[in-house]
Structure 1
Amino acid sequence: MSKLDGIALEIQWSNLIATVTEQARALQRIAFSPIVREAGDLATALFDRQGRMVAQAVTGTPGHINSLAAAGQHFVREFPPDTLHPGDVLITNDPWLSAGHFFDITVMTPAFRAKGGKDCCIGFFGSTIHHTDIGGYGVGAGARDVHEEGLWIPLAKLYEKGVPNALLHSIIRRNVRTPEHVSGDLAAQVAAGRVGAARLNALCDRTGMEDIQLLAEAILDRSEQATRDSIRKLKPGTYHGESIFDVPGGARITLKAAVTVDAEAGDLIIDFTGSSPEAPIGINVVLNYTAAYANFAVRACLDPDLPNNFGSLLPVKVVAPEGCIVNCRYPAPVNARHVVGMYVPMPVLKALHQVMPDRVLAEGSGAVWTIQIQGRAEDGTPFTSSMFNYSGGMGARQDKPGLDATCYPTGVAAVPVEVLEAAMPIVFTRKELRPGSGGAGRQRGGDGQFIGFRMRTKEAWLLNVVASRTELGPEGLEGGEGGKPGRFLVNGQPVNKSQKMAMAADDDVMMETPGGGGYGPPT
C-alpha cells in the first residue's frame, strides 16, 4: 500500500480498533483474576516500531491505557525492534516506566512479518493488568518505601524465541502468595498479545501491506492535528483549579492545576506546581500516572470522539515539580497511588470550567475504595485477593445528575458479589445504594453505596482498606451542595488507618462510600 485516501484510512482504522479490542476480549476470557475478567481493570494497545501507541481497545481504564502508552518507548529503547525474534515477549512492572505501582504488570508482544526473506518486527501488542498479588506489603498504603511493596520486575524478556525465561518465571512464583493465579494471568497476557499479532498479520494479508508504518504515520498525524485544532478553538490563557481531600490516616492532600491554553501552537499545558509534597505512606503518584488521568480529563471535555493515541496525547503536556505527590521520586512508596491519582482530574476540570463550563462535572467521590484480604480458608487453603471496585457517587453534570455508585474517572466495573463469594471465603452482608449521600443541586450528585462483609474463616485474617474522603465530601459546582463523606466501620466503630489490620474471624466490616457533588443551586 503506497497511498492512503480518507476512505481507506477509515477502513483500516476500524480494523485496528477491532484487532486490539479482540486482544482485550481474549485477555478477559482467559484471565484468572475476577478483577480482569469481571471489572475490566486492564488496557491493551497496538504500538508501532518506535513504541508509539497507535490504537487502543474500546475497553480499559484511563490510568492503565495512557500509562501503557508511555511504557511503549521505554521497551523500544531497551529492546530495539531489529534485535528481537519471533516468540520474544517483554515484561516490566517498574512504577516509573509503566503504570505506577508493582501490581500493574505490562507485557509487550512483538508482531513479526516476513519481509525480504526474514522475519521483521512490524509493531507491538501491549497489555497492562492489575495482578492479584505481587508479594511484599500488599495493595495498601502502609509501606515506608517502594522496596517494601513487592517484587520489582525490570525491563526484561519473559519469553525468548518462544522459550519461557525459566529464572524469571521462578523468581515471580517464589515472590507471590498465589503463584498459580499470577502465572495464569501472565499467560493470559501473552496469549492475548499473540492473538493481536495473528490478527494484524491477517489484516496485512487482506490489504497487501508489508507493515503498518505508513498507516501508523497517517493515523498519528491526523490525530495530532485534530487535537491541536480542538485546542485552538479555546480561549487562550491560564486557568487555575484546586481540589482538597483526605486520605487514609486523616492527612489532607491539595492538588493544584494551572491549565494554559496556547491557541496559536495548539498546545495545552497542565502544571501541578503548588500541590502537596510526597507523602510518607504509599499514596504517591509517578508522573506517568498523573499524565494519564490529566489527559483523560482534557480528552473528555475537549472532544471525546478523537482517537486516543500517541498523536492525540502529544499536544497535551503535563508537568509537576519533582518530589511533589504527583511526581514522586524513587524510592517513594506508591502501591496505593490511585488514592491520589484518581483525584488528578478534579482540579483540571475546575480549571477547564472557566473555559468550557458546559462540559465539566462537579467533584465526585474520587478514588475507588480498595481492599485486600489475606488469610486461610476453613480448610487451610491460603487466599489473597484485591477487590477494588467499590465506587462512590459521580459528580453531577450541567444537564444530568451524577451516576450512582460510579467512580469517575476510572471506569472500573463492579465485580458481582456472587463471583467474589465463589472465589474466596467471603460473605457479603449488605450491598445497596446509600440514599441521600449525593449533593443536592439543580442536578443532583450520584449516591454512594453500602458494602458489608465478613469472612468464613476459623482464624485471624489481614485486611488492607484504602478509603478516602471519610472527612471531606466532594464539593458541588456553581452553587450545588457537596456530597456526603464516606465511613469505614469495623464492628460498628469508625476506623481511619493506612496500615494493614489484623482481624478476628467474626469481625464485621462495613463501608459507606461518598456521594458526588451537586451542580447548580437546588430548586
Structure 2
Amino acid sequence: MDGVELQILWSNLIGIVSEQARALQRIAFSPIVREAGDLANGLFDEQARMVAQAVTGTPGHINSLAAAARNLLDNCDADSLQPGDVLITNDPWMSAGHFFDITILSPIFRGERIIGYAGSTIHHSDIGGYGIGSGARDIHEEGLWIPTMKLYEAGKPNETLFQIIRRNVRTPDALMGDLGAQVSSGIIASDRLNALCDRYGLDDISELSQEIITRSETATRDAIRKLPGGTYHGASRFDVPGGQVIDLKTAVTVDAEKGEIVIDFEGSSPPSSMGINVVPAYTHAYATFAVRSSLNPDLPNNAGSLAPIRLKLPDECVVNAKYPSPVNARHVVGMYVPFPILKALAQVIPDRVVAEGSGAVWTIQISGKDRAGVPFTSSMFNYSGGMGARATKPGISAVCYPTGVSAVPVEVLEATYPIAFTCKELEHGTGGAGKYPGGDGQRIGYHMRTGRTWLLNTIPSRLVSGPEGLLGGGDGAAGVFQINGEAIADTRKREMQPDDEVFMITPGGGGYGAV
C-alpha cells in the first residue's frame, strides 16, 4: 500500500477510535471513567485482531482488550451476529482480570457483512460481592460473574440480563449509565468506520488492517533484532496488604534471529490466598507494555506489535491465576510486572528503561449512608507514588506508572461523596537519591462527613520497603498508612467510626545512577 495513502487512512482510524473513547468519557456516569480515564477502546478487523487503540487508556485494559475480542467471539455463535447485537462479559480469564472490568464488543456491519468490531473495557463502580479489596477467599465471593452474552440483540436490550445486573449491584444507576456509554461509543465507532469506507471507496478494512498489522509486527521484530541475543534476569520484591511479600522473577530471552522475546516468570511467588492473583491476560498486558515502551514506543500498539512477545508462566504462580482464585485486587501485583522485566532489559538497553517506581496505585473504596440516610458506594479512586528515575531525567512525582490512570480531583470526590480531605500534597524527599532522583510520593488525609459508621476498602503496598534504585541509584521511601495516627498493616474491608481519619503517604520512586 502506498505510504501516503496508508498514513492518511491510519490517521483516520486513530481519529475514529479516539473519538470513540472521548464519547465514552463524556457519557459515563462514574468519576473513575469520566475523570480518571480508567478505560480502553480498540478497533478490530473482521478477524477480531486489534488494529488501533485510542490515545487514552491503561495498558492493563488495552492489551487485555486485544485478547478479549477473540475470546468473546470464540465463546458465542459468531456466525449468528446481526446488526444491533452487542456482546458483553466480565469473565476475568477472558478479559481484564477481575469482575469490575466489563468488556463490550459491537460488530460493525457494512450492509449485511461484518467489517470489524468496536470494543471497550472500563472499570465499573460496583459489581456486588466483596468490593474492590483483596479480602475475598475465592472468586465467587467477589461479585457478579457475567459470561459471554448478548447485552443487546438486534438492537433490543436483553431485559433479563439487565434485571439480573441491577439486582446484584449497589449502584445500579451508575453501572447502567456506564454500560450505556460503552454501547454508545461502539455505535459512534461503527458510524465513523462506515463513513471512512464511503469517503475512500472501500468495501471493508481487510487490506488496510493487514498492512498495518504486518508493518507493525515487522518493525517490532526488527527492533528486537538490534538487541544482543541471550537471556537476562530481573527480580522485584514488594509487600502487599497484610504484610505478605511477593517475589516476581523474570528471565527475558532475546531471540535476535527470529526477532522474538520470551519472558519466563519461573521462580515467582505461588498463588496467594488473598484477592491479588493475576490472570494471564493481565500479566501479558503489562509485560508487553514494558517491552514495547522500551523498544520502540512510537510503533502502533496492535495485534502485530504484540505478536513477537510471548510469556511462559508456571502453573502455580501468582501471575497465572487459576479458577477459583480470588482476583479482585489483581492490579496490586499486576502493576509490578514491568519492573523485573525492565531490570533485565537494563543489562542491554540501560538508556531506555526506568528504575522501580511505587508500583500499584493505592485504591480506595468508601461506602455507607450519608446524613440523610441515602446509601452510597464510591467507585475506586486512586493515589500514586513516585515514578522511578529515567536514564536522563528525574522520575515524575505522584504519577501512576505504569498504569497511566489519572487521579480524580478531590473537588469532584467531595462533590460526589460525603468525604472531606484534610491534605493532598507532595511528600518531598521520598524519591530515591541518584544521578537522577526518583519522583516523590504524596500525602493524603481524609475523613467522612456522614456522622455514621462507614466501610473502607483500601489496598496500599510497599509499606515495609520502598522501590529499588537502578544502576547505583538510591531506594525510594516506603509508604505509610494510618488510621487515627496508628499504623495499619491489615487493610481488609473494615467498619470505620464517624470521626475516624485516614492518613497516607505513598512511596517514592527509585533513583537512577550513582550520585
2:107 is aligned with 1:110: yes
CA distance in 1: counterparts of 2:125 and 2:510, whole angstroms: 32
Among residues 27, 36, 45, which one is paired with 1:30 in the alignment? 27
**Alpha carbons 1:368, 1:388 under 8 Å: kept:** no
**Alpha carbons 2:364, 2:458 under 8 Å: kept:** yes
2:514 is aligned with 1:521: yes
Q: For residue 338 of structure 1, what is the aligned residue in structure 2? A: 331
Q: For residue 44 of structure 1, what is the aligned residue in structure 2? A: 41
CA distance in 1: counterparts of 2:11 and 2:151, whole angstroms: 31
Using the TM superposition, give the Cα deviation of residue 408 of structure 1 relative to its aligned residue in structure 2, in angstroms: 1.1
* 1:149-199 deviation per Cα after TM superposition (whole angstroms, max 9, x unaligned): 000000110000000000100010000000000000000000001001100
Using the TM superposition, give the Cα deviation of residue 5 of structure 1 relative to its aligned residue in structure 2, in angstroms: 1.5
Q: TM-score, normalised by structure 1?
A: 0.98
Q: For residue 425 of structure 1, what is the aligned residue in structure 2? A: 418
**Alpha carbons 1:103, 1:132 under 8 Å: kept:** yes
Using the TM superposition, give the Cα deviation of residue 214 of structure 1 relative to its aligned residue in structure 2, in angstroms: 1.1
2:360 is aligned with 1:360: no
Counterpart secondary structure, 1:71: helix
CA distance in 2: counterparts of 1:260 and 1:343, whole angstroms: 19
Q: For residue 276 of structure 2, what is the aligned residue in structure 1? A: 283
Among residues 1, 6, 25, which one is paired with 2:3 in the alignment? 6
Q: For residue 143 of structure 1, what is the aligned residue in structure 2? A: 136
Using the TM superposition, give the Cα deviation of residue 386 of structure 1 relative to its aligned residue in structure 2, in angstroms: 2.9
CA distance in 2: counterparts of 1:393 and 1:267, whole angstroms: 32
**Alpha carbons 1:370, 1:386 under 8 Å: kept:** no
2:435 is aligned with 1:438: no
Q: For residue 267 of structure 2, what is the aligned residue in structure 1? A: 274
Counterpart secondary structure, 1:190: helix
CA distance in 1: counterparts of 2:338 and 2:290, whole angstroms: 5
**Alpha carbons 1:49, 1:76 under 8 Å: kept:** no
CA distance in 2: counterparts of 1:78 and 1:265, whole angstroms: 32
Counterpart secondary structure, 1:293: helix
> Which residues in structure 2 correspond to 1:236-385 (within 5 Å)?
236-385=229-378
* 1:417-438 deviation per Cα after TM superposition (whole angstroms, max 9, x unaligned): 0101111100011000001110
Among residues 18, 31, 37, which one is paired with 1:21 in the alignment? 18
Among residues 84, 89, 114, which one is paired with 1:92 in the alignment? 89
* 1:7-47 deviation per Cα after TM superposition (whole angstroms, max 9, x unaligned): 11111111001000000000000000111111111000001
CA distance in 1: counterparts of 2:277 and 2:104, whole angstroms: 24
**Alpha carbons 1:245, 1:469 under 8 Å: kept:** yes
Aligned residue type for 2:37: G
* 1:501-521 deviation per Cα after TM superposition (whole angstroms, max 9, x unaligned): 100011001111000001111
- RMSD, aligned α-carbons: 0.8
* 1:365-385 deviation per Cα after TM superposition (whole angstroms, max 9, x unaligned): 000001111100111111111
Aligned residue type for 1:45: G
**Alpha carbons 1:450, 1:513 under 8 Å: kept:** yes
* 1:275-329 deviation per Cα after TM superposition (whole angstroms, max 9, x unaligned): 0000000000001000000000001100000110001100000121122000011
Among residues 59, 64, 68, which one is paired with 1:67 in the alignment? 64
2:193 is aligned with 1:196: no
**Alpha carbons 1:450, 1:510 under 8 Å: kept:** yes
Using the TM superposition, give the Cα deviation of residue 80 of structure 1 relative to its aligned residue in structure 2, in angstroms: 4.9
Using the TM superposition, give the Cα deviation of residue 81 of structure 1 relative to its aligned residue in structure 2, in angstroms: 4.3
**Alpha carbons 1:281, 1:498 under 8 Å: kept:** no
**Alpha carbons 1:464, 1:501 under 8 Å: kept:** yes
Among residues 490, 494, 512, which one is paired with 1:497 in the alignment? 490
Q: For residue 470 of structure 1, what is the aligned residue in structure 2? A: 463
Counterpart secondary structure, 1:25: helix
Counterpart secondary structure, 1:332: coil
CA distance in 2: counterparts of 1:95 and 1:323, whole angstroms: 18
Counterpart secondary structure, 1:475: coil
Q: For residue 414 of structure 1, what is the aligned residue in structure 2? A: 407
CA distance in 1: counterparts of 2:10 and 2:245, whole angstroms: 45
Counterpart secondary structure, 2:203: coil
Identical residues among aligned pairs (%): 67
Aligned residue type for 2:54: A
Aligned residue type for 1:10: Q
**Alpha carbons 2:31, 2:379 under 8 Å: kept:** no
**Alpha carbons 2:432, 2:508 under 8 Å: kept:** yes
**Alpha carbons 1:51, 1:75 under 8 Å: kept:** no
- Gaps of at least 5 residues in structure 1 are none
Aligned residue type for 2:248: L
**Alpha carbons 2:270, 2:317 under 8 Å: kept:** yes
**Alpha carbons 2:132, 2:380 under 8 Å: kept:** no
CA distance in 1: counterparts of 2:372 and 2:409, whole angstroms: 24
**Alpha carbons 2:395, 2:439 under 8 Å: kept:** yes
Using the TM superposition, give the Cα deviation of residue 498 of structure 1 relative to its aligned residue in structure 2, in angstroms: 4.0
Counterpart secondary structure, 2:243: coil
Counterpart secondary structure, 1:386: coil
- Gaps of at least 5 residues in structure 2 are none
* 1:23-74 deviation per Cα after TM superposition (whole angstroms, max 9, x unaligned): 0000000000111111111000001122111100011000000000010111
**Alpha carbons 2:30, 2:379 under 8 Å: kept:** no
CA distance in 1: counterparts of 2:423 and 2:256, whole angstroms: 51
**Alpha carbons 1:82, 1:121 under 8 Å: kept:** no
Using the TM superposition, give the Cα deviation of residue 83 of structure 1 relative to its aligned residue in structure 2, in angstroms: 1.5
Q: TM-score, normalised by structure 2?
A: 0.99
Aligned residue type for 1:152: W
Aligned residue type for 2:363: T
Counterpart secondary structure, 1:516: coil
> Which residues in structure 2 correspond to 1:452-467 (within 5 Å)?
452-467=445-460
CA distance in 2: counterparts of 1:309 and 1:12, whole angstroms: 16
**Alpha carbons 1:52, 1:310 under 8 Å: kept:** yes
CA distance in 1: counterparts of 2:204 and 2:430, whole angstroms: 54
Aligned residue type for 2:75: E
2:113 is aligned with 1:120: yes
Please identify, of 10-19 and 379-388, the stretch whose mean Cα deviation from structure 2 is larger: 379-388
